[in-house]
Amino acid sequence: MREKRLSITDIARQLGTSTTTVSFVINGKAREKNISQVLIDRVEHLVSELNYQPNALAKSFRTGKTMTIGFIVDEISQPFFSGIAKYIDEKASAHGYNILFSSTKNSKKRGGEVLQVFNERHVDAFIIALPNGLENEVKEVIGGDVPVVLFDRYISGFESDYVLIDNESSAAEATQHLIDSGYKEIAFVTIETDQSQMLDRTKGYERAIVIAGLNPIVKRINYEGKPESVAEIAAFLQQNNQIDAVVFACNYLSMDGLDAMRQLNLKIGENIAMVSFDDLEVFKYFMPSITAIAQPLEEIADQIMEILMYRLTNNTNKNKIKAVLTTQMEIRDSSQFKKTSDEVQPEALTVGK
């Protein structure tokens, strides 16, 4: 099928006209180029009769546009990223764009390579959750003429279009919710990182704790792998057994925390409360269900695509666009009002296994 494909020359020849005319008609520039209606009709008729499809490769080569968007994230299989990917794909497809994706594994080296490869492929735009330390590569590789929208995290001092959520106030809200529910020893589990979203979440937690006159208890995991993380969280909770509530700073930490608490035989909602930053569908079905800060995935994707489409059609405005979206706290059973010790049903401890 691919071999016998028609070219624009075939169409022009059959019509006794020029490729110029055919090209103009096909690309909807007929009016603007003052092609006569008769010719337009003849071209359109033959094109649809022969089901002629222009060769996208030739077109890309000629115009430099690939109708492709590079989507670069830490790991595509993380629910947050695959959720964003879903909506980005929907919206990009509607505009005739397709998504080329790759995961950086949170590695600067791998991130640089992906950036380079996608740039060589001439993607028309980039959507990136950028690993730290890659600012120069982004600037250099992309060289200013390709639209880039960063999301999930920002690089301070790095000018770019951004779509973010209000991490600080969301974390503060989650913490305040635990305070309001009567918890006094509220820990915050995050990762050892300089990624902005994690720092801002920590800041929000600390702000709420300090205002309430409580002691901040922050645990920073040096993330090397799931088993290590689970062990570290378990050790932390064991060594600080005064802790009555935990805010986990992102969904994989919440997961690791659930594993740790299970291993320690801690009963969520009984011995310990928790809130997860990032919601997952399952959290609703957990016993008890898990309170979570839900990021507005579709809205994030919407904003990203809106900015991108704007840049793609009109990149003269050099003012950077920064969208900061709000989150939604889904209050569930894991953060119920704190039971005093005599309210705890002793038999509860025997159940759930």
Partner DNA sequence: CTGAAAGCGCTTACAG
Binding interface with a second copy (CB under 8 A): 1-3, 53, 55-58, 60-61, 64, 66, 68, 75-77, 79, 82-83, 85-86, 89-90, 93, 98-103, 114, 117-118, 120-122, 140-146, 255, 258-259, 262, 268, 280-282, 284-289, 333, 345, 347-348, 350-353
CA angle 311, 148, 167 (to 5 degrees): 110
Closest CA to 161 of 121, 136, 128, 194: 128
Cα separation, 338 vs 319, in Å, equals 48
Is residue 346 helix, strand or coil? Answer: helix
- Residue 292 bridge partners (DSSP): 276, 330
What does R_g of the chain's alpha carbons equal in angstroms?
Answer: 27
- Minimum distance of a second copy from residue 16's CB (angstroms): 27
Number of residues that bind DNA (CB under 7 A): 28
Cα separation, 198 vs 65, in Å, equals 36
Is residue 13 helix, strand or coil? Answer: helix
Cα separation, 9 vs 50, in Å, equals 13
**Tokens 């919407």 belong to residue:** 302
Closest to DNA by CB, 60 or 106: 60
- Minimum distance of DNA from residue 35's CB (angstroms): 4
- Minimum distance of DNA from residue 113's CB (angstroms): 20
- Choose the contact partner of 164 out of DNA, a second copy, none; CB within 5 to 8 A by kind: none
* Per-residue mark of binding to DNA, 3-32 (x: CB under 7 A): --xxxxx------xxxxxx-xx-xx-----
Closest to a second copy by CB, 328 or 345: 345
Q: Are 69 and 98 in contact (CB under 8 A)?
A: yes
- Minimum distance of a second copy from residue 283's CB (angstroms): 8
- Site residues for DNA per CB under 7 A: 5-9, 16-21, 23-24, 26-27, 33-36, 38-39, 54-55, 58-59, 61-63
